[in-house]
Amino acid sequence: MEKSIEQIWRNGFLNEDLVIPKIKSLYNQKSISLVESIINKFKKEVLLLIPLGILIFIFNIILDNDNAIFWGFISAIPCFFWFLIGKKQVKSIKEIDYKSNSHDYLVSIREKINQIRSFNKRLIITSVPLGSLPMFIYTYFNQQGKTVGEIFGVDGLNYPTIALFLLIPIFTMIVVLIAEFLFNNNTKSKTLEIDSLIKEMEELTKNPLK
C-alpha cells in the first residue's frame, strides 16, 4: 500500500483531478484497515479479563477459606467489571465518525486510544488493591495463627499471617506490568503506525502536486 501511494505521488499522472482522489482513496483504505486491526487487538485484550477472573476465583479456593466460592466470586467481580468497561471502550472507538477525512479520523483515534490507556492505568492502580483487600482481610481472620506457607501449602514461607497484605502491592505491580507489556506489544505499536501515517499525510499536504 505504501509503495503504491509513493509511486502515484512521485510519478504522478497527466490528469491531476484523477490523482488526488486516487491518493485519498488509498489513504482512506489504509486508515480504516489500521483502525480495524487496533480494534481487533483491543477486543482480544478485553476477552483476557474473563480467564483472569476465573484464575482469581480459583486462587481464592486455594486459600481454603470458609465460603471460598462466595468470596472467590466477590474477588473476581472487578475483572468482569473491567470487561464491561473494556467493551464500552471498544465501542467508543468504533463510534468515532470517519467524516471521509482519513487524517482527522486517525488523529481522533489516536486521542481516544491515549485517553483509554491513561484511564486504564489509573483503574488498575486503584482497582487491584480495592478488589483484593476484602479477600486478604477475610483470609487473615479465617486463617489467623497460620504461616503464609501453611495457607498456600508451600514449605519455607514461615511468615506470619499479617504478611499476606504484602501481596497486595506485589499483585498490583504484576498486573500493571502485564498491562504495560500488552500495551507495548500490541496497542503502542499500532499507535506508532498511526503517528507514521499521520506524519506521511501531513508531509504530502505540505508538498502538493505541481
| Each residue's pLDDT tens digit, 165-198 | 888 888 888 877 877 777 666 666 777 788 888 8
Q: What is the pTM of this model?
A: 0.65
- Average pLDDT on 39-61 reads 82
Fill in the amino acid letter for 4. Answer: S
Q: Is 126 exposed, middle or buried (0-12, 13-18, 19+ CB in 10 A)?
A: exposed
- Give the model's pLDDT for residue 107: 87
Pairwise pLDDT comparison (176 vs 207), residue with the higher score: 176
Asked whether the predicted pLDDT for residue 75 surpasses 80, the reply is: no
User: Residue 91 above 80 pLDDT?
Assistant: yes
**Is the model's pLDDT at 10 over the cut of 50?**
no
